[in-house]
Structure formats: structure tokens, C-alpha cells
Amino acid sequence: MIEELQDQAVTPEAQRTNLIDTELDEAEIEAVAADRLDLIRAVIDDLGDWDTPFYRQAAQAGAIQESRPDGGETKAFHLSHAMTPTPRNDSHERFLETPRRRVIRVGQQILWDVVDDKKNYFWASMSECSFLMARKEGRVAAVHIGYGQAGDLRVAADYMREAGFDLRNAVAIINARPPLSQPDSNQASRAMRHAGPETYEALGLKRENVHTYDYTYAGQDGEGVGRGLVQLIATPDNVFLYAFDTHQEDGGQVRKGPYYNDTVIRLA
């Protein structure tokens, strides 16, 4: 794909119809759900974290650009200790934009409220967190809640309701068990602060729209293995969910082995 981008001139036509949009157009119409996930995941993985050769070539070819929330069409907020969300219209948050799409990495404790004038793709990676997405006419909101804490969930849900989002058709992906590593709390406290499926139902979500995953971590002497870390890619029509295992390498957790538990959640 990089070679094709190198030959793509930065012209108005290249900006209107570019390789990334074309690749994702083709992926979206793939009849087999598993193949659709593979194709979309390949493009998102190629884009990486704004520092891959593919992304640099795409930017040079005019196929994609880096943008930041403006407080209007694209809003970003930070959640902290169950307080009112804080706007983040600054250099801390950014997203990728093509002529026909946005690709937004939803970081932990960040809530996005975005105009739905393009195809919005949300990407998140979670081990002990939760993800909530809701839509209304012309806009979509998505939030990544650290440790799946009930207080921050309620703040995010309050924001969505006040902004006119209907949580009855919202979708949530949550860790099935209280987090293992939440700092400064014992197991009982973690369980009390963890929002389970019943909490989401109390906020108005339908039980069938609350999806769970099960992550575990075992570590000893600086070495650790994580099992069931989850990534998701939310598109206008589906949420693609998949898991993988990790191991400790160079001070961080890196993927070990293949993806598994591929799941396609059809959006209403």
C-alpha cells in the first residue's frame, strides 16, 4: 500500500478519492464479516500511532491529515474523579481525517462528541476498562472509561443524555470482572467502584447491547502475561471486537500470538 501512495500526487482528485478511503470502502462491502474485520483492522494497524511509514506516506500523498478537536464539530473531554468533563481543545488530543472519514483513537478517560458528516471510525484498546458509544441525528459520542469506574460512567452518561443522545440504543463493551490493577484500593473497593452490566441497564441501555470481555494478567519478577486484552474498531454500521494475549518486552506489554474471539456487533 505504501508503494501505491508514493505514486499518488497531491491533487484535488487525490484528496477526493484516495487510497485509504478506497480500501475502507471495499472492506465495508465485504460480505463475510470475518474478512471485513481483517481488512478494516489491516488499514487501522497500518495507520498505527501517527508514526509509521504508511501514515507518513499517506500524509504526504494528501490521503490523510492530522486534526484536533475544535470544540464544535469535534469535541473532546477528559473525565477525572467523577467530575464534570473538562474540554480538551488542545494539543493533547488528535485524530486522523480523510476526505470521507475520521479515525479517532479513544484514549483512556477521553469522551468524544463528533459531528456525523463523515464516516467516523473509533478505535480503542482495553484491558480493564469499558467503552460506551451512543448516536443521535447528526452526531456520535464515544467514551473510554478507565477501570470501568461507575462514577466516571455516570458522568459520561449524564453528558450524553444532556446532549440529546438516547442511551436505549447505545452500545457498551465492558470488562466482566473488577480490575486487577486499580491503584490504592483493595479488592472489595474495586468491586464496589466497578460498573457491571446492571449499572448500564440502570442508565437505560438494553441488556443485549452490553457486551463483556474477560481479561486476566499474571506476573512475577518483572515478567507478565496478559490474556484477553481487547481492541475494538467502531464503524458507522458495526463494532468489530477482537482479543489477543501480551507479554512483557522492553518495559511494556506487546502482542503475543494471533488475534482471537473476533466478534461483529451490528449497530441498530
Provide the CATH number for the domain formed by 68-253 in this structure. Answer: 3.30.1330
Long-range contacts of 248-253 (CB under 8 A, 24+ apart): 248/219, 248/222, 248/223, 248/224, 253/224, 253/226, 253/229
In the chain, residues under CATH classification 3.30.1330 are 68-253
The tens-digit pLDDT sequence of the chain (268 residues) is: 444 444 444 444 444 447 889 889 999 999 888 899 999 999 888 887 666 777 777 788 778 888 999 889 999 999 987 788 888 866 678 899 998 999 999 999 999 999 999 999 999 999 889 999 999 999 999 999 999 999 999 999 999 999 999 999 999 999 987 776 655 555 545 555 889 999 999 999 999 999 999 998 887 655 788 899 999 999 999 999 999 999 888 777 789 999 999 999 999 7
Residue 29's contacts (CB-CB under 8 Å, 6 or more residues apart) are none
